[in-house]
Amino acid sequence: MKLHSSVVEKLLYLFENYGGHGTHAKLRGFLDGIDLTPYEKKTGDQEVILVLTEDFVKQLSGNKK
């Protein structure tokens, strides 16, 4: 199972902006709130990739950023 590049970018953003504070309370809260959806690629190896649920829903509804 892999993380989609958008998940990695989101995690980096959160660590850069909310990491390094005393209790890490904000960072923990944001990390706890990340919602991931498993997506099985239908081409190639058919591997499972974790994607941000909000991005997955946007793709299903046909809306792009």
Residue 65 has pLDDT above 70, yes or no: no
Query: Mind listing the pLDDT tens digit for each residue in 12-31?
Result: 999 999 888 778 888 999 99
| pTM, rounded to two decimals | 0.79
List of residues 6+ apart from 11 with CB closer than 8 A = 3, 31, 34
Does pLDDT of 51 surpass 90?
yes
